[in-house]
Amino acid sequence: MAVAVVSALIFLVAAPFAKMPLPVIEGFLPAYQSALVVFDLITAVLLLAQFRIWRSAALLLLAAGYTYSALMATAHALSFPGLFAPAGVLGGPQSTAWLYFVWHAAFPLFIVGYTLLKNRKAQYISGRARNGTVLCLLLAGTSAAVSMALAVGDALPPIMAGNRDAPAKLVVAILTWLAGLGALWLLWRRQPHIVLDLWLMVVLCVWAADTALAAVLNGARFDLGWYAGRVYGLLASGFVLAVLLLENMVLYARLGQKHRELEQASREKSEYAVALQNALAELESANRDLRAFVGTLAHDLQQPITTIASFAQVMQRQAQSQPTANAHHLERIVSAASWAQRMIKALLEFARLGEAPLVKQTVDLNGIVSEAKSKVSGDTDRPIDWQVGALPTVQGDPSLLLLAFVNLLSNAVKYTRTREDAMIWVESTIHPGGGHALCVRDNGVGFDMAHAARLFTPFERLHRSDEFEGTGMGLANVRRIIEKHGGTVTAGAQPGQGAAFTIVLR
pLDDT of residue 184: 92
Question: What's the pLDDT score for residue 487?
Answer: 92
pLDDT at 96: 86
pLDDT, mean of residues 163-169: 83
* Pick from 165-174, 348-357, 455-464, 474-483: least confident: 348-357
- As a whole number of angstroms, the distance between CA 173 and CA 488 comes to 58
Residues present in the chain in total? 506
Q: What is the 3-state secondary structure (H, E, C) of 171-231?
A: HHHHHHHHHHHHHHHHHHHCCCCCHHHHHHHHHHHHHHHHHHHHHHCCCECCEHHHHHHHH
pLDDT at residue 343, rounded to an integer: 62
- Helix or strand run (H / E) with residue 408: helix 398-415
Do residues 89 and 96 lie in contact, with contact meaning Cβ atoms separated by under 8 Å? no
pLDDT at 123 over 70: no
User: Rounded to whole angstroms, what are the CA distances from 472 to 40, 168, 358, 443?
Assistant: 22, 49, 24, 20
Please name the fold of domain 361-505. Answer: Heat Shock Protein 90 (3.30.565)
Task: Name the CATH code of domain 25-354 (choices 1.10.10, 3.40.50, 1.20.1070, 1.10.20).
Answer: 1.20.1070
- Higher-pLDDT residue of 92 and 306 is 92
**pLDDT at residue number 503:** 93
- Stronger pLDDT, 341 or 245, i.e. the higher one: 245
Q: What confidence score (pLDDT) does residue 47 get?
A: 87
Instruction: Give the angle 229-235-236 at the CA atoms, nearest 5°.
Output: 90
DSSP letter assigned to residue 94: T
For the cut 70, the answer to whether the pLDDT of residue 70 exceeds it is: yes
Tell me the per-residue pLDDT of 381-396, one tens digit each, with 9 for 90 and over. Answer: 788 899 999 999 999 9
Lowest mean pLDDT among 16-30, 47-61, 166-180, 242-256: 242-256
Q: Are 14 and 224 in contact (CB under 8 A)?
A: yes
Region 431-436 average pLDDT: 88
Per-residue model confidence (pLDDT) at position 338: 62
Region 425-443: mean pLDDT is: 92
Residue 263 clears pLDDT 70, i.e. is over it: yes
pLDDT tier at 428 (50, 70, 90 boundaries)? Answer: very high
Q: Do 361-505 and 25-354 have the same topology in CATH?
A: no
Looking at per-residue pLDDT, the higher value among 120 and 189 belongs to: 189
Longest CA–CA separation in the chain, Å: 81
pLDDT of residue 119: 77
User: Stretch 346-370: mean pLDDT, rounded?
Assistant: 77
pLDDT at 303 over 70: no
CA distance 147 to 141: 10
Segment 280-303 mean pLDDT? 64
Q: Is the pLDDT of residue 122 over 60?
A: no
One-letter amino acid at 288 equals: R
Q: For strand 422-430 and strand 384-388, is the pairing parallel, antiparallel, or unpaired? A: parallel
Write out the DSSP string of 117-182: HTT-TT-B--S-HHHHHHHHHHHHHHHHHHHHHHHHSSSSPP-EETTEEPTTHHHHHHHHHHHHHH
pLDDT at 414: 87
Which residue in 8, 7, 32, 17 sits closest to 217, CA to CA? 17
Identify whether the C-beta of residue 19 lies closer than 8 Å to the C-beta of residue 219.
yes
Quick one: pLDDT band at residue 230, thresholds 50, 70, 90? confident
Domain ranges of the chain: 25-354, 361-505
Of the candidates 108, 135, 142, 110, which has an alpha carbon nearest to the alpha carbon of residue 52? 135
Q: How high is the mean pLDDT of the chain?
A: 80
Q: Tell whether the model's pLDDT for residue 186 goes beyond 90.
A: yes
